[in-house]
Amino acid sequence: MKKYAVVGTGGRALMYTEAIAGDFKDCGKLVALCDTNRTRMEFHNRRIKELFSAKPAPLYMVADFDKMIKEQKPDVVIVTTIDRAHHKYICRAMELGCDVITEKPMTTDAEKCQMIIDTVKKTGRNLTVTFNYRYSPRNTKVKEIIKSGKVGNILSVHFEWLLSTSHGADYFRRWHRDKRNNGGLLVHKSTHHFDLVNWWINSQPETVFAFGDLMFYGKANAEERGITEFYYRAKGSEAAKKDPFALRSNPEDSILIDGLYFDAEHEDNYYRDQSVFGDGISTEDTLGLLVRYKNKAIMTYSLNATCPWEGYRVAFNGTKGRLEFNVVEDSCISGLEDFNTIAFGAKSTKVPFRVVDIPEIIFQPHWGKAEAIVYESSDAGGHGGGDSRLLSDIFRGVKDNSLGHSAGCVDGAWSILTGIAGNISIATGMPVKTGDLVSFD
């Protein structure tokens, strides 16, 4: 039975602390929690006790990270800190003899990425990057179709990701609003998407050209649209009550938000409910890229964080035809009561929309009838069913990696290099060669 320590105890860490204490308690033991905020760590201990009758884990402040490793001797350190700190704990844990599991993105810039690559080579430790989207049954089906040769050689990819005015806005209420913390959405969010493309077409990005800007959120943009009433944070604000973009939560979410954030404010003054139309936002909300891959395929990509529904559309143009992939992840439109609103995607279920019945996966051969491709679906466990499958591989071991679901350091690096190159391109106005950013030798 392996011993696990978790560093960074925000909301994402819950997936791991609850898994170790619950479904995978026969595989491992949680031996330590580490964070900058004691209140958050105590919340995790209370929660696993209430849900699973688990014993509390010893708590360590981040200044005592080395002491934690020495005293508790974890086999694996799980890193779920703020993105800009990932490299620090990944590298130090490996130097102290631990394997590491890290949330995506692996890190936020090329220099830190190189540090991680070098530390993996130096220490020989194992680094796992948790790409749960690979494990989703629908994304797995796309991988199977492309790998089978049904579409032929992939010539081009068009990938559009829509973040809703609920989820997309949430990045601008919290620490993600400052690009220094997460590398922007091109690194923090798009690493999922770039990893999927790398995995789907079995290639890596070679050249990246990008545009991006903050075009909707932020105070200056709101003022230009005529907004005159502003607030700093939603809690206790009368102005926020009239703002559909303000943080709102159901009773279950409130337990988490209160316990992890509102109750912990006195320690670090971190406010989870900041206005998306405030000052100090440097993360772009509208982005577009052109990518050339090593296999000569070309991708056009867009990410928009201001959309009325959430999901993604991907089209693969191959030498034998075209594969289209349409996913609605959240069809709920805040404040909208028009039941005649059209949302694309056959599996849009959260509100009674009139749905245009477009299959999720469609193959159109060059000569012949279009085919709707079905698969065994499951949304259990979050992220389209990906979380539960990912956790099983992490804690019980990989039983079948024939499709390459399990991702390591090299996969983690290639997933962020598209976004890192994109950030450089946005800043310079020039195309960027990913091979100039890091060395794998």
User: Which domains does the chain show, CATH number per domain?
Assistant: 2-130 (3.40.50.720), 133-216+282-436 (3.30.360.10), 219-268 (no CATH)
Instruction: For residues 327 and 97, give the distance between their C-alpha atoms in angstroms, rounded to a whole number.
Output: 41
Q: For strand 205-213 and strand 432-433, is the pairing parallel, antiparallel, or unpaired?
A: antiparallel
Instruction: For residues 412 and 113, give the distance between their C-alpha atoms in angstroms, rounded to a whole number.
Output: 9
Which pLDDT score, from 0 to 100, does residue 358 have?
A: 66
**pLDDT tens digits along 298-317:** 999 999 999 999 999 999 99
Please name the residues in contact with 16: beta carbons below 8 A apart, sequence gap of 6 or more: 4, 6, 78, 80, 101
Which pLDDT score, from 0 to 100, does residue 348 have?
A: 41
What stretches of 15-130 adopt beta strand conformation (E)?
28-35, 59-61, 76-79, 99-103, 127-130
Instruction: For residues 339 and 351, give the distance between their C-alpha atoms in angstroms, rounded to a whole number.
Output: 8
Query: DSSP letters of 165-220?
Result: TTHHHHTTTSGGGSHHHHS-HHHHTHHHHHHHHHHHHT--EEEEEEEEE--SSSHH
* Sign, Cα dihedral of 250, 256, 257, 259: positive
Which pLDDT score, from 0 to 100, does residue 95 have?
A: 98
Rg (CA), the chain: 22
Query: DSSP letters of 225-237?
Result: TT-----SBSTT-
Q: Whose CA is closest to 426, among 216, 212, 215?
A: 212
Q: Whose CA is closest to 213, among 176, 244, 185, 171?
A: 185
Q: Whose CA is closest to 106, among 95, 119, 96?
A: 119
Cα distances (angstroms) measured from residue 423 to each of 13, 110, 219, 420: 27, 11, 22, 5
Instruction: For residues 232 and 25, give the distance between their C-alpha atoms in angstroms, rounded to a whole number.
Output: 42
How does pLDDT run along the chain (441 residues), one tens digit per residue?
999 999 999 999 999 999 999 999 999 999 999 999 999 999 999 999 999 999 999 999 999 999 999 999 999 999 999 999 999 999 999 999 999 999 999 999 999 999 999 999 999 999 999 999 999 999 999 999 999 999 999 999 999 999 999 899 999 999 999 999 999 999 999 999 999 999 999 999 999 999 999 999 999 999 999 999 999 999 999 999 999 999 987 777 889 999 999 999 999 999 999 999 999 999 999 999 999 999 999 999 999 999 999 999 999 999 999 999 999 887 443 333 333 333 444 344 444 444 445 679 999 999 999 999 998 876 555 656 778 899 999 999 998 899 999 999 999 999 999 999 999 999 999 999 999 999 999
Please name the residues in contact with 319: beta carbons below 8 A apart, sequence gap of 6 or more: 151, 152, 153, 155
Which pLDDT score, from 0 to 100, does residue 329 have?
A: 84
Instruction: For residues 95 and 90, give the distance between their C-alpha atoms in angstroms, rounded to a whole number.
Output: 9
Which pLDDT score, from 0 to 100, does residue 340 have?
A: 34
Which pLDDT score, from 0 to 100, does residue 384 have?
A: 63
